[in-house]
C-alpha cells in the first residue's frame, strides 16, 4: 500500500471553517467517485511542522492507494469530472502546498487510529533489518503504523509512525511528534 500525502495551508484572508468545508466536500466527492486503486483518504490539521514553508496551521491529507499506477488515476480524478469544482474551490483558497509518497512498511493501515504522527530517520550505521527489529515490538505493542518515504520524494524525514497514544521511541532517534486533529476520514 502507498500513501500520497499532501500538506497545504490556506490564505490568511480565508476563514478556516469555509476552507475546511470545501476540503471535506472535495474528499466526500472523491470518495463517492473513487478511481481504481484508491482506497480512502483522511485529512488532519497539524501545527508546527518544521518542513513546511508556513508558520500557520496546515492540512495534511493522506490518500491511501493500491500502487503507484493509482497515482495517475487519482491525479486525473481530482481535477476532472465531479471532483473538479470541489478541488478548484480549495485550490483557489490555498496559499501553498507540498507532497510526498510513502509506502506502508509495518503495521496495519489505520487512519482511524492516528492521533499522532512521529517523524524520524533511521540512524546512520544501523541496517534496515536491525532498525525494523528494534521498532517491531513498539509497533506491535502500540498497534502503530510505520510509513516510509519513497525515493526521497517529500519534505519530511524518512519515516512516519502513526499512533493513537503516547509512544517512547528508541533513545537514539531524533524525532518530532505532531498531534493530528481529524478533519475528515473516509471509509473503505
Task: Single out the residue of 49, 48, 53, 43 nearest to residue 21, CA to CA.
Answer: 43
pTM for the model: 0.96
Domains and CATH numbers, the chain: 2-185 (3.30.70.100)
CB 92 within 8 A of CB 10: no
At a CB cut-off of 8 Å and minimum separation 6, what does 41 contact?
27, 30, 31, 61, 62, 63, 64, 184, 185, 186
Q: Tens of pLDDT along 49-79?
A: 999 988 889 999 999 999 999 999 999 999 9
Percent of residues, the chain, with pLDDT higher than 90: 85
> Distance (Å, rounded) from C-alpha 62 to C-alpha 40?
8
At a CB cut-off of 8 Å and minimum separation 6, what does 39 contact?
1, 64, 65, 66, 109, 188
Amino acid at each position: 500500500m502507498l500513501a500520497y500525502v499532501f500538506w497545504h495551508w490556506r490564505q490568511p484572508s480565508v476563514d478556516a471553517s469555509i476552507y475546511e468545508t470545501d476540503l471535506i466536500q472535495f474528499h466526500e466527492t472523491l470518495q463517492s467517485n473513487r478511481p481504481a486503486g484508491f482506497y480512502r483518504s483522511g485529512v488532519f490539521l497539524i501545527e508546527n511542522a518544521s518542513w513546511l514553508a508556513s508558520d500557520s496551521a496546515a492540512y495534511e491529507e493522506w490518500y491511501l492507494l493500491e500502487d503507484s499506477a493509482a497515482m495517475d488515476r487519482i491525479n486525473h480524478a481530482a481535477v476532472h469530472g465531479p471532483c473538479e469544482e470541489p478541488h478548484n474551490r480549495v485550490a483557489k483558497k490555498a496559499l501553498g502546498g507540498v507532497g510526498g509518497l510513502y509506502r506502508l512498511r509495518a503495521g496495519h493501515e489505520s487512519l482511524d487510529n492516528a492521533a499522532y504522527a512521529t517523524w524520524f530517520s533511521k540512524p546512520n550505521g544501523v541496517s534496515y533489518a536491525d532498525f525494523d527489529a528494534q521498532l517491531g515490538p513498539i509497533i506491535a505493542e502500540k498497534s502503530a503504523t510505520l510509513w516510509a518515504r519513497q525515493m526521497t520524494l517529500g519534505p519530511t524525514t524518512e519515516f512516519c509512525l502513526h499512533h493513537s497514544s503516547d509512544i517512547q521511541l528508541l533513545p537514539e532517534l531524533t524525532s518530532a511528534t505532531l498531534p493530528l486533529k481529524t478533519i475528515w476520514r473516509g471509509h473503505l
